[in-house]
Structure 1
């Protein structure tokens, strides 16, 4: 029987047991990958809701000889969250905190809970006094079960150690489907009345005691030699002097011995006075040599990054994304708090003095500003993603002769560890080893714990490159062992390093590992391939054997390079969709805007990562390009993408799913009937001029019983509130005095939607520009093509944009100010990627959103004639966020005098045509509940709500019309608040002028 039929049968069996099981090809694709170099397609994915569900699945797999792999957030880099049999995803439903005990300083939580959620709930239950300490960089999407499986550590592990050090007990399901509880001093049945479980607990206990007695000498001399010895099983915890600690012995077993369904973990006191000290060095070796000095000051964190990561962050997100970083080519982040010293500031000064005396420090400074602190820590936390697609210095400075591209690095030798005092010598040898193999390593990690993360420029697409990876990893294993270290210091062994364990451990210890696995899992069904009986480290690689075909695209996704054999290099579309390496930031539930659909559904298929994996499978398995572009799995995966573009900024790798969606739909629907909304909404700019003439009739129809029929005829959900079209006299009033003027110093681009629905915004924008002494030339007859782009009608979009570029390319460098942020973003980013001309590139470089232009006006000394209220609620516009910078609007609002800016920092849910389209309404409303709806409910009366984007304004209008918990509010554009046509008291103007002068004239 073929795998698909087998999976279907297994899925049906499990569903008959009341389990949520899925064997659809799209689902299996999403779970074929994690954040590693590996790919294995499962037969079935199961989403358990209870411990008994897990037990039922395990018993079924045991009876039928099926392998079983437990999975949390899928963020592991060792390849230990994928498998060929049944995959259990705990993150969907088993994600609750079950109990918090402030007195005992413990919490009981299910395996699928995300670490930041656990920390947040613990702080809430203890008044902020306690927290869960392990904080790996992936903590916003990694789960507790994954942290236990890999023995994760985190940025503050120099003080708090590994997850091992915080586990009090583990509730388990065995390979046979029995429920046991592992304690610090033994093993018992979870339910004492369960005779079979009690008997199995006694059997396991006896076998583990016998194994320990037989290997006492090896356990005492080979285990727990350094702080970050994570490789292999933690059998030293079973020694008599360690109290036969079964719970902690099972931490780091990567789901190969038992399935952890929940855990009681120890909590620590949350620091209240943390000060970040940032240090710059010439290189990572110099930084590592100062670690012993740093440890003398009892910091809670000693973390490091190298210059390539910082360079990429600046190129992707702007210079202010790393504001506060001192000079240097490598940096250490040091956290000092009340446990470090009574006087934290003085301790920082003393530490700096001692480091200067060492003679290696290039620059150092404290970072007291909370915003800068968050920004700098994000660079470190995004290291895994940023280091995978690095921006070359030539891309930033093309005049230096570069090709203007990126280069790739990959895990493989990801997180080796040595004793902290040996780190510098190890890094010197490691650098020499990279040079010997002709490789480059991008380094970041936990310097204070001696654990170094490295992304390496392996060529995993060619057989020759894979051979180099194998040779390098083998040599690197010998090197770290020679320095008394561990192959893995945090991420586990998985498929990446298990094969190399005999280099680190004696034959006796390797045999003991095998015996321990067999005690718990005699038939070998739990996560085979990790730690014991591993497959070769260069098998099942994601990038191996992908056909390098030419996927012709409309967007400029780069040009193929030249391979070593002189043939064209990797196809740009393949390179683009392979950008996702699975770090999973798109699965975060807080911070940034990405990924709104996942946050609404909590389903992997609706994450940026899930969509990218489906596209990766498409280019891998499609029999030919034509059938590939007709791939139904890809169409379904992309359907709920809002095209918000947030992933292009928030994704550390820069995955731009909105672009890939447009490209795919352009090819998928070629020669086919499209959804009705692609005609009604996609072609809206073409018929808006006629709509203006018929505005009274259209508005009357849309407010009558005929609106439902009209909506259905256009493929629009009838529940969605429709906008009112501006009457002709309103359009004339908004555009009065606006005309083309070649001598003007600023071009005002009035887009189709502003002209048709909000012409008063155009007038307000012109008034503001005029108040700054700008002369304005109006361009109101061209289009940005956004609706055709978002619906994948790229042929017509290119024609529209080519006309627009020709009209705007007037031989000047006058700024082009666009009041609608989505149109500004389309002209800024999509125009040069679709229209491959110098004119398009020149026009794109001149485009500014209104908020960006206000910043320039302030830089030039402009004093706004109308003050902003001190409190402002602003709906973040996704496209402006992505194309002009995440902090664009909040920064300019504060400069304008808004002392408090309440940010609805997430997509509004409408997102152009998405929220109007049939089949999207529920997800759209779910997205609005992430930020916008709560912000409207908590808004103080009379606080203005800024919605520069028309879609955002429509979202506010719909919410106030349909949700009784939201008070009625009329949102406004920033230009309306600054419009000098408003009459205000002179004293208020003077107060605003004083405030702006105090801001120093820069964002």
Structure 2
């Protein structure tokens, strides 16, 4: 039984109140971190569903003397979402949006509401007339409660200010158990009939008024001096001229005064027209010097980034991931808005002309294209993750990432700060809210060594002194937390610091709420997550060493496995409510353990050898968090820090199951290429048996679900006949066909899935390539080992990949075009990591997915010529591995070139993901994942709309969801030689079809 310091069981008190609490080692590992440098292991985690649950949890903490920490999306970079007691995670259940009062311009919300979801819902209800303004870069996973906690701002704070500018009332639960509502003019009992709360409201109001009266001069002189003065408590709002605005004073108190359980937030009108202007500069200081001129044009946003972040985005997500940038090495994104597009465009032209007169602008241009605009904003919004591990090498960390000064002093401050960085031999990656004078600067500290931590401490103190000399704030957005609270006396007088401490005591006399920050803080270098990780060798099959040409291990003693799993810095994009593909299991379950971040945090505890996760490769906690990982690889692209959980899962399972009995599906599905050699000899008999009740028995015996339709197995020679019909000899034929003399030559790799299940796609692919004027040679004598990789059987996978490299390394640089995208991804990415030889690297560099290769041909002017009319509309289900390794745009560009007029992006994982969706224990989650994007896209379109599924697993899910329109491979749509409509083999269920004669004879 977990015991608190009083000797009374916290869990016992919670159980008596009927509040479920999770104190498992795995759960405590997940919640020991936020997005900061800090790690503090909690006692337990509660996911409250109602205000009554919160009241009961607070009572249990009060009874046992247990600290309590409020948490939303867990994206705090200052360490104010971790603590040593009970964590209340509001994001899972208390996320309801209440009434929207358009006339009053307010909306009722619970604390777990995601900011982006709130904005969308308000815009939907008001037909786009109003919106919720605060939009920090983490808006698609950060919550209202968290925004209230640290007074979050966002990209458009130049126009709309901070969260404190948008709060009307806040409902609170205090540590002594009363329910209060903070308003713009005072404090009242949430329930007027609750006499205890009413009395507490009156007493607290009187005490707060007295505190303000006794400190009038100091509060007026020191607080509220610049737009982004977030550090400390906002006690200036208690002054008479502020009308005793307790609601605004509560904002930014970082959960140290009371627990936020609801709020009424203010809405703003949404502009009718907006235009992004992108400005290029030689460096960030030059850009900052133009801020006063830009502010004269009343922009809604002035954001900035530098070349290091842009280069990393392109390195990680491809050259097309950043569009619309003018010349320069640092850029400002200026959002202008107004009543009509013409006036906004004219304003943009005047702005660029004026900046050219200043003489610092390298180049500038409006960005009207929505795709380019979205790509630029994503660069800015992913800045924290992208800067953590740059393409140029090394790591950077928060700690001094959001200081702020008056906008007119920003350039001088940045110039001085660069000198300070150089003095300490540090590099700062700079981006942020230039228009508001708030800079996000991630710095190359070495927090793994004692010497590096000493540099961190000395530099941070010097930086605090510097920003104060410039009249600025230690924090301009993220709050003080564990990162800066110790340094507040450098910014504020003893009088103000005493007022802070006194105010906190009035609200929380027992000192239970979020200890370690604001007043009586822990040192900034205590509880650092990278401290105390033992040095040891973790032998891995994957080569996880950073590429020598692009990065370096931060310390010569840091093991590559440790370095890899520590890549997660907690920004939480894997918890985003939309956009991208990751993390499909989290979107289905809303459980932190099923997010990429949750998994990474447990892996980080594993390499610490912490008592939460201490069994290394045999850790049950790690196996549990990896269980619902679909190995979709999307995190390797969508995660700004490049976390590749599919690889980590494969590596861990390889070790975990050594000497243990594996799940049956690891043999039935993991060994699928071997079984296909058997089924290929008797396909008719196998298919007939699977159409009988014996099919269900066979599926169950192999650990497979009996709820999913089973595919038709192809004969061993079917794919050969297909490519022969296309005029191409398989198996390494040296006779190139289909191209004229001197035409480009390609190797068409017919993978195991295509040979075993979709042989007709091989022929279609061969005809498309030949029709593109390419000499085509076919190869089908190798296996990429994908099924062994995904089930963590890496010895076999390495052997098969070595054989594939030997087979495909023919001394040329011809593209190797792979029909199945998951196999293409395995050859492109997994091959050089599992077989780190020059031969493997040569082969991997030549590999293309079919869609990516076709898109390249389209880009050079080739126009597809399908034999039959292409559909006017298509639902596009991009395979996750295609998306992560080759990009998301290939199929769309090919379909457009072929004449498909409207492409509906399913834009998410289908839910099958290789073996995952076929495994009995994962079927339900698989279907939940389909509801993220694919299933709604199918329901929203008619049966005459084609469905593009290059991935075999995606095709299986489409067939499961809507068997009336089978998923098609891009090659089938583009096929120049197909006489009839392209068809996929009919799937079979073991439950519905009658036994054939062949099956009856067998029975």
TM over 0.5: same fold?
yes
Distance 1:677 1:564 in 2: 38
Match of 1:798 in 2: 798
Query: Residue 20 of structure 1: CA displacement?
Result: 2.7
On the 8 A contact 2:394/2:554 being kept in 1, the answer is: no
Range with bigger deviation, 884-893 or 201-210: 884-893
Secondary structure of 2:538's match?
coil
Q: Please give the residue correspondences for 1:572-971 in structure 2 after superposition, counting only pairs within 5 Å.
A: 572-621=560-609, 627-728=615-716, 730-736=718-724, 737-739=728-730, 740-744=732-736, 745-866=745-866, 868-960=870-962, 968-971=964-967
**Are the structure 2 counterparts of residues 261 and 565 from structure 1 closer, same or farther at C-alpha, using a change threshold of 3 Å?**
closer
Distance 1:8 1:709 in 2: 52
Aligned residue pair count: 966
Deviations 1:442-472 (A, max 9, x none): 0000000000010000010011111111111
Deviations 1:50-101 (A, max 9, x none): 1111111111211211100000000010000011110000000000101100
Query: Residue 2 of structure 1: CA displacement?
Result: 6.6
Deviations 1:708-760 (A, max 9, x none): 22112101111121111124564453243432223532211111111111000
Distance 1:250 1:595 in 2: 34
Q: Please give the residue correspondences for 1:192-207 in structure 2 after superposition, counting only pairs within 5 Å.
A: 192-207=192-207
Q: Please give the residue correspondences for 1:92-171 in structure 2 after superposition, counting only pairs within 5 Å.
A: 92-171=92-171
Query: Residue 839 of structure 1: CA displacement?
Result: 1.1
Query: Residue 772 of structure 1: CA displacement?
Result: 1.8
Query: Residue 18 of structure 1: CA displacement?
Result: 2.1
On the 8 A contact 1:600/1:923 being kept in 2, the answer is: yes
Distance 1:590 1:857 in 2: 32
Distance 1:180 1:280 in 2: 50
Q: Please give the residue correspondences for 1:483-494 in structure 2 after superposition, counting only pairs within 5 Å.
A: 483-494=470-481
Distance 1:5 1:982 in 2: 75
On the 8 A contact 1:230/1:488 being kept in 2, the answer is: yes
Match of 1:403 in 2: none
Distance 1:959 1:567 in 2: 50
Distance 2:610 2:662 in 1: 22
Match of 2:501 in 1: 514
Secondary structure of 2:454's match?
helix
Deviations 1:111-131 (A, max 9, x none): 001000111111111111110
Deviations 1:421-444 (A, max 9, x none): 111111111111101111100000
Match of 2:739 in 1: none
On the 8 A contact 2:25/2:613 being kept in 1, the answer is: no
**Are the structure 2 counterparts of residues 559 and 442 from structure 1 closer, same or farther at C-alpha, using a change threshold of 3 Å?**
closer
Deviations 1:493-522 (A, max 9, x none): 000000000000000000000000000000
Q: Could you list the runs of 5+ residues in structure 2 that have no partner in the other structure? A: 737-744, 982-1003
Distance 2:322 2:948 in 1: 28
On the 8 A contact 2:28/2:612 being kept in 1, the answer is: no
On the 8 A contact 2:592/2:598 being kept in 1, the answer is: yes
**Are the structure 2 counterparts of residues 251 and 926 from structure 1 closer, same or farther at C-alpha, using a change threshold of 3 Å?**
same
Query: Residue 671 of structure 1: CA displacement?
Result: 2.1
Secondary structure of 1:343's match?
helix
Distance 2:160 2:666 in 1: 54
Distance 2:919 2:261 in 1: 40
TM-score w.r.t. length of structure 1? 0.94
Secondary structure of 1:525's match?
coil
Distance 1:185 1:146 in 2: 23
On the 8 A contact 1:809/1:843 being kept in 2, the answer is: yes
On the 8 A contact 1:180/1:197 being kept in 2, the answer is: yes
Query: Residue 603 of structure 1: CA displacement?
Result: 0.4
**Are the structure 2 counterparts of residues 372 and 461 from structure 1 closer, same or farther at C-alpha, using a change threshold of 3 Å?**
same
Match of 2:992 in 1: none
* Corresponding position: 1:980 with 2:982: no
Match of 1:422 in 2: 409
Distance 1:53 1:19 in 2: 7
On the 8 A contact 2:613/2:621 being kept in 1, the answer is: no
Query: Residue 834 of structure 1: CA displacement?
Result: 0.6
Distance 1:342 1:417 in 2: 34
Match of 2:70 in 1: 70
Distance 2:856 2:400 in 1: 46
RMSD, matched Cα: 2.1
On the 8 A contact 1:105/1:267 being kept in 2, the answer is: yes
* Corresponding position: 1:441 with 2:428: yes
Q: Select the residue among 448, 463, 487 that pairs with 1:500.
A: 487
Match of 1:294 in 2: 294
Distance 1:556 1:32 in 2: 29
TM-score w.r.t. length of structure 2? 0.94
Deviations 1:356-407 (A, max 9, x none): 0101001111101000000000000000100001111xxxxxxxxxxxxx31
On the 8 A contact 2:33/2:570 being kept in 1, the answer is: yes
Secondary structure of 2:801's match?
helix
Match of 1:993 in 2: none
Secondary structure of 2:920's match?
coil
